[in-house]
Amino acid sequence: MGNVAEEYTERLRELGHDVQVFTPHYRTVQEDPDFVHRLAAPIQSGNAAFVPSLFRHLKNFDLTHLHYPFFGSAEPVALFHAMHPKQPLVMTYHMDAVAIGMKGAFFSAHQKLLFPWIVKRADRVLVSSLDYAETSALAQVPGIFRRVEVHPFGVDMDRFFPGSEPELRRTFGIPDSHPVLIFVGGLDPAHHFKGLPILIEALAQIQDLPWHVVVVGSGSLRASFEAQVQDEGFGSRMHFVGGVSHEDLPKFYRMADIHVFPSTERAEAFGIVAVEAAASGLPTIASNLPGVRTVVADGKTGLHVPPRNAPELARALRQLIQDTNLRAELGRQARRRSEQEFAWKPLIKKLEQTYIDVTRGTRSDV
């Protein structure tokens, strides 16, 4: 969500729009641009933050764009627009909030009691795919699809492009003849749905093949994952590189041959990493989840596997590791499709047109 908000902000400002960003004061940042405002949050829990001052900061704008879910901050935004209906509200609905235990109970209660009221305040509800929206909490709000628009998230085609990084491979001692798989995702409890344990389980079933895996991401669970692969006997072939810089991330995609995206929950609603991999000319093996399956076209730009199914994931890995012609063709098609559907420039122009429409038009009633 943060990456999408940043891309929207930077690209809209490049087009001459005055975009101001309001976010909770999660931490002190030394060199924020003057258009980023970190507001005090009296109550915080994880990424949720109650920011009552948002209400007064929203005055005198042509419109507000809310990224949701944003517990504790969406509520004052919705309240402001309930009291100021002439100032349009655009909402990007990123995903359903999914959890277990007390947190899951809170999400369920919020979805039933507050979510319909919040979403009804929006003049437009933007979704990354209709496939995901139709199976999400949005579908429970009567009439909401009259205001839904599909706005996929994009990728910088100049930053991510096909190529090779032989020196980077040598840094990790990977032979040129060994296919490299790449996994990109957080290694912390908040990103439990990224599916790295399933990937490790699948890799244990194909140890007879030559492969190496590069894991890009950091988090508190990293040590346990490293211990798991050591126990499985392929620790030397699985490289945990931690978080990498903005500048270096494209290089790690270019050093790889196959992108693996084994997410397990519908909290994974789109998959920007899959779009980055596609722009880099990589085929993706992805879980057949709503939303994700619209980013990766089965048999055309990658392969679909059932979520949480290690044997099927192992089968797909074996297929692409062994069939070099297939993975090359899927990679070419992935790059072509990313150019046609996920390049940022036309997507931002579409967003700009939505803003123009809502500021000129009138909202419909639900």
Looking at every residue in the chain, the average pLDDT score rounds to 92
Residue 256 has pLDDT above 90, yes or no: yes
pLDDT at 100: 74
pLDDT at 132: 95
Q: What is the DSSP string of 137-163?
A: GGGGSTTGGGGEEE----B-TTTS---
- Regarding pTM above 0.85, the answer is yes
Residue 46 has pLDDT above 80, yes or no: no
Residue 216 has pLDDT above 90, yes or no: yes
State which CATH number among 3.90.740.10, 3.40.50.2000, 3.40.50.360, 3.40.640.10 fits the domain covering 166-341: 3.40.50.2000
Distance CA 136, CA 121 (A): 18
Exposed/middle/buried for residue 233 (C-beta within 10 Å: 0-12, 13-18, 19+): exposed
> Does 2-154+344-360 match 166-341 in CATH topology?
yes
Q: What is the DSSP string of 179-233?
A: -EEEEE---SGGGGGG-HHHHHHHHTT-TTS--EEEEE---TTHHHHHHHHHHHT
Of the candidate ranges 93-107, 252-266, 322-336, the one whose mean pLDDT is the lowest = 93-107
Q: What is the pLDDT of residues 232-255, one digit of tens each?
A: 999 999 999 999 999 999 999 999
Residues 160, 276: contact at Cβ < 8 Å?
yes
Distance CA 347, CA 341 (A): 8
pLDDT at 32: 85
pLDDT top residue among 32 and 293? 293
Average pLDDT of span 223-238: 93
What contacts 309, CB < 8 A, 6 or more positions away? 198
Helix count (H) and strand count (E) of the chain? 15, 14
Residue 22 has pLDDT above 70, yes or no: yes
pLDDT at 29: 75
Distance CA 49, CA 170 (A): 44
- Return the percentage of the chain with pLDDT > 70, whole number: 98
pLDDT at 364: 45
Residue closest to 39 by CA, chosen among 66, 65, 21, 60: 21
3-class secondary-structure state, position 20? coil
Distance CA 249, CA 251 (A): 5
Q: Which two tokens stand for residue 272?
A: 């920007």
pLDDT at 31: 82
pLDDT at 43: 81
Residue 363 has pLDDT above 60, yes or no: no
- Read off the pLDDT band of 36 (50, 70, 90): very high
pLDDT at 179: 97
Q: What is the pLDDT of residues 102-124, one digit of tens each?
A: 877 888 888 888 999 999 999 99
Name the CATH topology of 2-154+344-360: Rossmann fold (3.40.50)
Average pLDDT of span 187-210: 93
Each domain of the chain, given as residue ranges in start order, spans: 2-154+344-360, 166-341
Angle of helix 344-360 versus helix 2-14 axis, rounded to 10: 80
The phi, psi pair for 276, rounded to 5°, reads -65, -40
Average pLDDT of span 242-269: 95
pLDDT at 353: 95
Residue 366 has pLDDT above 50, yes or no: no
pLDDT top residue among 39 and 349? 349
pLDDT at 267: 84
Q: What is the pLDDT of residues 120-142, one digit of tens each?
A: 999 999 999 999 999 999 999 99
Residue 365 has pLDDT above 50, yes or no: no
